[in-house]
Amino acid sequence: MINQPPFHINCNHHSIYTKTLHFLFLTTTTTMEPTIIGTSDFIKAYSDGTIERFIPETSPASLDLYDGYKCKDVTIDPSKPITARLFIPTAAVMPPSLPIVVYFHGGGFAIGSTTWLGYHHFLGDLSAATKSIVLSVDYRLAPENRLPIAYEDSYASLVWLYKQKPSDSWLQDADLSRVFLSGDSAGGNIAHQVAIRAIRDTQCPVRVSGILSIHPYFGSEKRTELETKVESADDVKSNDMFWSLSVPKGSNRDYDGCNLEKMVVSMSEWNRFPDVLVFVAEFDFLKERGVEYAEFLKGKGVKVELIETKNEKHVFHVFRPDSEETKLLQSQMNEFIHSF
């Protein structure tokens, strides 16, 4: 879930977000004036089921060289549609094969895009810093497309990599035996679900070596200690709104895509689950959930490392992609990726 002030961001590339907001509407016929039932910095939800999205500044893909990478937009499945942005490093000296990071953006499953300027620069710099091919997936958003559609769209990207590699020169050095799933907030949740699907699909054409989960977004009907505090009321309300927009109709926060304890995964599947690196931020409202995720996986026998970034908030790397803290995050991701 992304819920940060959008207009006070410093970035050496450019200003990431502008004060010009674009509106996307879902319209329905109604006889009563709808009321606002939930809001955050990037979305309003109305009582008649319509939503209003606020789109920050975006960046087009460019075949021109950036600082150590180039990128292009690709189509995973035109029928849905599912699209993605592909980043490749352009260093003068490159290893003979490159790991692949498949990245899923955050946004409570209802907002966000790899085209957002913050994601564009973070992921391009990540590609250069790790000498990895990065495929950042634009899955379909809720509430128009409720879960598990985001999981299914995201898993389709792994199949696409396998099918596309022989014909796409950008993927000629891609190592399909070293695929890493990553994402922030809701994207961390998606990475977990895609890993389970990869284990269960006996025909999965790639090998998932590890997961890099940044400030992962999970929940439950039962509140955490922080969620019960009076000062958390606004964050709780925002979280509840995003879950209500994203879980299947008739479900609640105990939906198995939300509540880790409700996920039915066999021990044989846990034994094949990849190693996980979980990042949390000291001042992130979702920090408790991230720590719980790491502890949950450890309890299942999964090899997990937990790293806390001090003095930072939720998805700081998207809002400040040029910060020293973001560069440290990328360095830690690089170390994990190249430990395999």
Q: What is the pLDDT of residues 27-44, one digit of tens each?
A: 444 457 899 989 998 999
* pLDDT value for 1: 58
Average pLDDT, the chain: 91
For 270-290, write each residue's pLDDT tens digit.
999 999 999 999 999 999 999
Whether 185 is catalytic is: yes
pLDDT digits (tens, 9 = 90+) for 304-322: 999 999 999 999 999 999 9
At residue 25, does pLDDT exceed 50? no
- Residues 167, 87: contact at Cβ < 8 Å? no
Grouping H, G, I as helix, E, B as strand and the rest as coil, residue 62 is coil
* Residue of 240, 230, 337, 220 lying closest to 288 (CA atoms): 220
| Residue spans per domain, the chain | 58-337
The CATH architecture annotation of domain 58-337 reads 3-Layer(aba) Sandwich (3.40)
Q: What are the pLDDT digits (tens) for 80-102?
A: 999 999 999 998 889 999 999 99
What is the residue-wise DSSP string for 244-299?
HHHSPTT--TTSTTT-GGG----HHHHTTPPEEEEEEETT-TTHHHHHHHHHHHHH
163-186 pLDDT, tens digit each: 999 999 999 999 999 999 999 999
Express as a percent the part of the chain with pLDDT over 70.
Answer: 91
Categorize the per-residue pLDDT at 2 as very low, low, confident or very high, splitting at 50, 70 and 90. low
Q: Which of 59, 127, 182, 185 is catalytic?
A: 185
Contact 90, 63 (CB under 8 A): no
Mean pLDDT of 138-154: 98
Question: Among candidates 100, 160, 163, 165, which has minimal Cα distance to 126?
Answer: 100
